[in-house]
Structure 1
Amino acid sequence: MRIYPTMELQNGRCVTLDKGRLDEAMIWHVNPVDTARSWAADGAEWMHLTDFDAIEGRDTNSELVEEIIRTAELPVQLAGGMRTREQVEHWIDKGAGRIVIGTLAAWDPNLVKELAKLYPDQIVLAVDVWQGHVMTEGWRSQSAFTPDTFIEAFEGTPFAAILATDIDSDMEDIEAQLGLISGLAEKSRTPVIASGVVRTTDDISRLAYIHNIAGALVSRALFRKTIDLSDALEVARTAHEPVAEFQ
């Protein structure tokens, strides 16, 4: 299982949100570029980056995002505001390793299928679930899709992964979140990356044993320092190693 240290940007600063509330961001007083480099130095193979300003249609962070992609020394999985073909292709041209698409997939599924075929292993489908439906536009609008029908609509599409988030669960209700995400992973033929469920290294251990969970985003716990990235990477790496029988 792969750990994706996760950075969320708003007005050039690292932030974390509670259930996507953009007006209630918790600001972390760290340098985004230095932080990304430190993750590479700790051994991360990928990082995830969400641009909250892009979700609101602003390019405030575009130069910073470009700098992180260029200098982080690890591939970047980029999310936020990918509402057109041009935006997706722009960031692929800028060097993003993967592009996460949610809203556009609900608006124009055929276009997203085409993009996934043009850029195999570079497009990630975001499945953000609230009260049994997939949410779009930065978790503000409820689509007609249930998560199961949304995933089924893209059967056979060569996505790099599906990024699954249970918005509905309380932040402390790890059991409910794991239940929804593991259910989606079981029904999907595409590997699933879990979002919003890692608070401790024990959560990583539990995720590692769920079928078809290929990775997990880790954000707030890193900034709060309740998880050390090196420890998280080691737990993910060794979770499936065989244990010698006691003699």
Structure 2
Amino acid sequence: MRFTLYPSVDIVNAHALTSRTAIAATLGHDMKAERLGSPIDLALAFQDAGARWIHVVDLDAAAGKGSNRHLVFELLKQVRANVQVCGGIRTENDVAQLIDAGCGRINIGTAALENPHWCESLFKRYGEKIAIALDVRESDSGYRLTSRGWNDESGDVWPKLALLDQLGCPRYVVTDVNRGGNMNHPNLRLLEAMTKRTSRPIVSGGGVSSIDDIFALKAIEVEGTVLGQALHCGSLSYGEIEAQLRQTATV
């Protein structure tokens, strides 16, 4: 199985921000925004570096604070790589418009937690073009789901995972919200537990800080990972990671 990297374009107020400050803005924390420029230019830069997939997050829409959908549509026009879009996608019309605009995959988060049975028709109609985003916070009471830009809690993860599996979810994007933007290593324990409870492919999010983290994820048979802060701050290079993955694949 080829491990897939998803460099992230995190959009807040029409700007691409580093994952760390984009998440802080979404959660209402007082932190100076670290701008990376135009979301479209950043996506094109990742494409030029060889990215086959790009992960685009409208964080304003996710938190219900606005929308950057016009920018997402323009990005879809200009970028040839596959684009995975998430944030504020809550209606069938949202899904249809993005698919018609050329979106390669749509991640549905809050809407799937609030009305999982609604997603069943999407799975049947769009198949692999739909994934469910499970944003998880680890606490003393276990793994708890979060929604609406990580601002609300939405119950225990395992019953919802079982239901979504039953309804036919093709893929999950699993993020430990305590690690998003923090470069404090992926939550391998959570991800391993996920791989044991579902046979569906899993893409991880949050915490990657080194190539060792990438290989640790690959070893537990996670399908791929979203790369945000480590790329945004320059501690990792997309091209160098891909080169090392190719090198190990030929050994």
Same fold (TM over 0.5): yes
Distance 1:19 1:164 in 2: 18
Distance 1:30 1:111 in 2: 36
* Paired residues of 1:205 and 1:235 also in contact (CA < 8 A): no
Distance 2:22 2:176 in 1: 9
1:113 matches 2:120: yes
* Paired residues of 1:198 and 1:221 also in contact (CA < 8 A): yes
- Aligned position for 1:39: 46
1:56-95 to structure 2, matched below 5 A, reads 56-57=63-64, 60-95=67-102
1:17 pairs with one of 10, 20, 23: 20
Amino acid at match of 2:12: Q
Spell out, residue by residue over 1:177-233, the C-alpha distance to the aligned partner (whole angstroms, 9 max, x if none): 11112211222111100101311112111111113x000000111111101110122
Distance 1:43 1:20 in 2: 26
* Paired residues of 1:204 and 1:235 also in contact (CA < 8 A): no
Worse-superposed segment, 60-69 or 50-59: 50-59
* Paired residues of 1:163 and 1:193 also in contact (CA < 8 A): yes
Worse-superposed segment, 157-166 or 99-108: 157-166
* Paired residues of 1:208 and 1:236 also in contact (CA < 8 A): no
Distance 1:232 1:185 in 2: 23
1:134 matches 2:136: no
TM-score, L = length of structure 1: 0.88
* Paired residues of 1:13 and 1:27 also in contact (CA < 8 A): no
Distance 2:36 2:5 in 1: 23
Distance 2:52 2:16 in 1: 20
2:37 counterpart SS class: coil
TM-score, L = length of structure 2: 0.87
Identity fraction in percent: 26
Q: Give 5+ residue unaligned stretches, structure 1.
A: none
1:162 pairs with one of 168, 172, 177: 172
CA drift of 1:55 comes to 1.7
Distance 1:86 1:156 in 2: 24
The count of residues paired between Structure 1 and Structure 2 equals 239
Q: Judging changes above 3 Å, is the alpha-carbon distance between structure 1 residues 3 and 169 closer, same or farther for their aligned structure 2 residues? A: closer
Distance 2:73 2:50 in 1: 21
Q: Give 5+ residue unaligned stretches, structure 2.
A: none
Distance 1:209 1:228 in 2: 21
Worse-superposed segment, 157-166 or 62-71: 157-166
* Paired residues of 1:165 and 1:181 also in contact (CA < 8 A): no
Distance 1:219 1:69 in 2: 19
Q: Judging changes above 3 Å, is the alpha-carbon distance between structure 1 residues 59 and 138 closer, same or farther for their aligned structure 2 residues? A: closer
1:214 matches 2:223: yes
CA drift of 1:58 comes to 5.3
